[in-house]
């Protein structure tokens, strides 16, 4: 309860921060997008990880506010980078399934894009497989409306959810993001690399961009490239960074 009050206060006072992690096009080496990841540094409690405060925000009814904050902040930052002459093709924002239960989400997104003078193609939304689990028809409608705006949808943590693959036929997604748990150990493990290969095939046959996250070594990067992954993200390049450090990383490495 105390933590819940603290989170409410942090949202009101703007104490949450977004860090950014680059997603790299493996063939060209160019930047594909940057993923915005929420961070909370509490003055007394120290750093509270998202795996704690995201579920807390859900329970406390704050996930709508958190989603709006992340969208606005990430879009504002993208506009700022571009004003500074930094070429960042798009920003990828994580939203919770609950954010798509709201029929107001498409308008909220349009408004933020307009306020920041961005196009729909500047934004990618990362969603997870559990988005359809509760069977709420509003969710599917909202997903299609967001897609109709021109905003791309990326299926995050792919392969770890409890949904059947049939959702791939219903959802207007552009990207499949292999969960990082699949990447761990692929160098020496035939079963692990058979799974990443199979997932790449699924993505390719559905004409989706296939993204590998949690890439920590050149060896993993080469293997995933050979398997057909187009985009990679992970500590091999850099962990998520505060906005100024991300800009510096892009200037130095790309
Ligand atoms: O950055 P890190 O690995 O600690 O993130 C842990 C989890 O929290 C990831 O699954 C990530 O998708 C999620 N997460 C990070 N930022 C946000 C956010 O702004 N909104 C939502 N809904 N999830 C987030
Ligand atoms: O669930 P989601 O995919 O949004 O989570 C991304 C999380 O993965 C972030 O918390 C980020 O810090 C973490 N992450 C990013 N790159 C790597 C990596 O190479 N290895 C590991 N172990 N975690 C990573
Ligand atoms: Na994500
Ligand atoms: Mn993920």
* 3-state helix, strand and coil shares in percent for the chain, rounded to the nearest 5: 50, 20, 30
Closest CA to 69 of 32, 22, 110, 15: 15
CA dihedral 250, 125, 229, 195 (to 10 degrees): 130
| CATH for 172 | 3.20.20.450
**pLDDT tens digits, the chain, 254 residues: what are they?**
689 999 999 999 999 999 999 999 999 999 999 999 999 999 999 999 999 999 999 999 999 999 999 999 999 999 999 999 999 999 999 999 999 999 999 999 999 999 999 999 999 999 999 999 988 999 999 999 999 999 999 999 999 988 888 889 889 999 999 999 999 999 999 999 999 999 999 999 999 999 999 999 999 999 999 999 999 999 999 999 999 999 999 999 99
Indicate if ligand 2 lies below 6 Å from the C-beta of 157. yes
d(CA 118, CA 200): 31
Q: Which two tokens stand for residue 13?
A: 């006072």
From the CA of 49, which ligand is nearest?
1
Backbone angles phi, psi at 187, to 5 degrees: -55, -45
Judge if ipTM > 0.85.
Answer: yes
Range of the domain at 52: 2-253
Q: Global pTM?
A: 0.98
Closest CA to 133 of 94, 83, 89, 171: 171
Burial class from Cβ neighbours inside 10 Å (0-12, 13-18, 19+) for residue 172 reads middle
**Centroid of ligand 1 to alpha carbon of 17 (angstroms):** 12
Strand partners, 25: 231
Closest CA to 155 of 179, 133, 138: 179
32 in Cβ contact with 213 (< 8 Å): no
Nearest-CA residue for atom 24 of ligand 2: 214
Q: Which atom of ligand 2 is nearest to the CA of 240?
A: 12
Roughly what angle, to the nearest 10 degrees, separates helices 63-83 and 105-115? 20
> 208: which residues sit within 8 A by CB, 6+ positions away?
173, 174, 175, 176
**Centroid of ligand 3 to alpha carbon of 241 (angstroms):** 15
Indicate the number of domains in the chain: 1
Q: How far is CA 1 from the centre of its chain?
A: 28
Indicate if ligand 2 lies below 6 Å from the C-beta of 49. no
């Amino acid at each position: 309860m105390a933590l819940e009050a603290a989170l409410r206060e942090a949202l009101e006072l703007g104490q949450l921060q977004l860090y950014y992690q680059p997603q790299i096009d493996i063939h060209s080496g160019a930047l594909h997008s940057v993923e915005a990841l929420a961070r909370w540094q509490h003055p007394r409690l120290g750093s509270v990880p998202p795996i704690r405060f995201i579920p807390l925000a859900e329970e406390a009814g704050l996930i709508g506010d958190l989603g709006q904050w992340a969208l606005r902040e990430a879009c504002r930052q993208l506009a700022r980078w571009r004003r500074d002459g930094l070429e960042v093709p798009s920003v990828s924002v994580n939203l919770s399934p609950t954010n798509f239960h709201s029929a107001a989400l498409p308008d909220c997104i349009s408004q933020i894009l307009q306020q920041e003078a961005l196009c729909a193609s500047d934004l990618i939304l990362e969603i997870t497989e559990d988005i359809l689990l509760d069977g709420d028809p509003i969710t599917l409608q909202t997903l299609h409306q967001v897609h109709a705006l021109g905003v791309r949808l990326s299926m995050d943590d792919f392969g770890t959810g409890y949904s059947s693959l049939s959702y791939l036929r219903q959802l207007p997604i552009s990207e499949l993001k292999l969960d990082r748990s699949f990447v761990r150990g692929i160098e020496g493990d035939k079963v692990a690399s058979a799974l990443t290969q199979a997932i790449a095939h699924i993505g390719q046959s559905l004409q989706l961009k296939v993204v590998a996250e949690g890439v920590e070594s050149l060896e993993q990067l080469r293997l995933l490239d050979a398997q057909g992954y187009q985009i990679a993200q992970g500590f091999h390049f850099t962990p998520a960074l505060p906005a100024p450090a991300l800009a510096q990383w892009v200037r130095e490495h790309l």
